Structure 1
Amino acid sequence: MMFSVGPWELAIVLSKALSYLGLVSLSGGIFVLWLGTRVQPATLSRHNHSLEDKSRTGSAPTGGWSAQTRLRLVNLLLLACVVGAFAVVLFYLLQVGVINQMGMSGMFDIGMISLLAQSSVGHGAGLKLGGFGLAGAVVMLCRSDLLSSRKRLPLLLICGWLLATILFAASFALLGHIAELGLLPRLAIIAHIVVIGLWIGALYPLYLLAGSESSERVRPLLQLFGKAGWIIIFGLLVTGVTLVWQVLGNVSE
């Protein structure tokens, strides 16, 4: 028996995928920037004496990367916020259109938009949109610091990302099958998603670095990412086992 997927269902799935892509790209990009600040100056290219001197005085750029590379990473963060926000709005309008069953014009029914905003779908979309908006605003405010030679990530960026992550987590707790679970399974799923986002979202920024920076500058970061990978795997195992234990416990009851 063939399973047919209509255009509306396909569009909803794609909008969800885009929102997840924006989320993991945002988290992974910030994760890579943070890893860059953890690379010790002594592990950078030893033959680049000028870079080492700047590192000792605290004026070396993050991870010793070029200004163009840092600009690409910052633009990636902003693009992730824009794509994520667009995907959330698109998902919400598609939900309105499905309920109206009036084609494309039904997506922009003001009355139905207002009505759906009072449901869990509207609340979840609002939280996600707020998360992407907050993250984008923080990245813009910290843009000059991220492009400069600071050795640490701005505290505003870290706090903004954490708050945005809380908003994303709250939206997940309101939508889908997660909303039917208890508190501990919800937290386990949310932590699982965040950890996966850090890992998967870091792959493309690392790819950008590998293509634009010398191997001497990228190698220490990749080594640090590999060490962090063990912590990520441990986090996945803990959250996964917790989730399975809770689900099996609920089924047995």
Structure 2
Amino acid sequence: MIPETWIYATWLVKVILYLGIAFIIGGAFCYFLLGRYVEIKGTILKYITIGTGLGLFSSVLGFFILIGSFANTGLSGMWDSNYINILVNTPTGHVYIIRSISFALLLIFMIVKLSKGTIDISKTEGAIFTILLTPIVLSFSQLGHVTNLPFFAQALLTIHVLVMSLWMGSLYPLWKTSKKINGLPLKERMHLFGQIAAFIVGILIACGLSIALLLFKDFNTLINTPYGHGFIIKILFVLSILLLAAFNKWYFTPRLQDPKFAKQLGYAILFEMSLGLSILLATGYITTVVGIE
């Protein structure tokens, strides 16, 4: 296999990882945001479970793709015992292992929860969920292009991943909500989400800009490198989704008591989801395929 094949495979696996963590964090947030509506809580729990499955799949496959890229002997190289032994004894290997174990435990936790047939989460279950999720969120700062930056930059990236996942992962539950509830209850929940989202977006922008200033040593790096070009494309997608989110908040939300606008909001959220996926694809591309110079 040519080296580029491993790089593109890593990119796709990373996007699956982004989706998995977004499903989990956004789903958990919406579970509490929409907790009073029994008709949506079961759907959200299944959504979170799918996210844990995606996260486990991407973490395990990502580990073996990395092995394969080292061995460079085709697909069989993914099982090369020599490289596996080397990688599991490195900090990078430790991150992959801890992340995979955390996802596996979360998946078991969610499957057991669903098998009980209850949709209410106790404080103890919430604490266990948070403890298992914490290593996964922290792992993003231990791999990739910020590992050589100061602790401050790594902390910013962790917060950035957390709030990004919360926002992106909330879109599907909100779309389902627009299908299952209507009138004043829908308006109230969307209005509350809009208020929280405004705060989230502020943190997202502040962290993103701070990380960008640390990564780009000068303006020429931004405008004259493939990484910079990809970063600009990502920013354009981000600006687009921010404009759409603002339009949803100021135009659709005040009118949601009218069923016509509730249906239109559903279409707008679907478009917002497509922009969100574009952002994740662009992020994975510039951090994996291109890389900062």
Please report the TM-score for the alignment, with normalisation by the length of structure 2.
0.66
Extract unaligned runs of 5+ from structure 2.
219-293
Q: In the TM superposition, what whole-angstrom CA distance separates every residue of 1:167-213 from its partner, at most 9, and x where no partner exists?
A: 12332232122110111111011101111110111001111222233
1:9 aligns with 2:2: no
Choose 117-126 or 156-165, whichever is displaced more: 156-165
CA–CA distance in structure 2, aligned partners of residues 104 and 245 of structure 1? 39
Task: Give the secondary-structure state (helix, strand or coil) at the position aligned to 1:178.
Answer: coil
CA–CA distance in structure 2, aligned partners of residues 141 and 201 of structure 1? 22
CA–CA distance in structure 2, aligned partners of residues 186 and 80 of structure 1? 24
Q: Where do residues 31-42 of structure 1 align in structure 2 (5 Å cutoff)?
A: 31-36=29-34
**Structure whose alpha-carbon radius of gyration is higher:** 1
Aligned to 1:213: 181
CA–CA distance in structure 2, aligned partners of residues 195 and 213 of structure 1? 26
C-alpha displacement at 1:103, in angstroms? 0.7
Paired amino acid for 1:23 = I
Aligned to 1:26: 24
Percent of aligned pairs with the same amino acid: 23
Contact 1:195/1:236 (8 A) holds in 2:
yes
* RMSD value, Cα: 2.6
Q: Where do residues 158-197 of structure 1 align in structure 2 (5 Å cutoff)?
A: 158-197=126-165
1:131 aligns with 2:113: no
Contact 2:23/2:165 (8 A) holds in 1:
yes
CA–CA distance in structure 2, aligned partners of residues 170 and 130 of structure 1? 14
Change (3 A) 1:165 1:238: farther
CA–CA distance in structure 1, aligned partners of residues 63 and 8 of structure 2? 14
CA–CA distance in structure 2, aligned partners of residues 16 and 27 of structure 1? 17
Aligned to 1:64: 37
1:94 aligns with 2:62: no
Paired amino acid for 1:97 = G
Q: In the TM superposition, what whole-angstrom CA distance separates every residue of 1:88-132 from its partner, at most 9, and x where no partner exists?
A: 111111111111111111111233222211123311211221332
CA–CA distance in structure 2, aligned partners of residues 136 and 156 of structure 1? 17
1:236 aligns with 2:190: no
Task: Give the secondary-structure state (helix, strand or coil) at the position aligned to 2:145.
Answer: helix
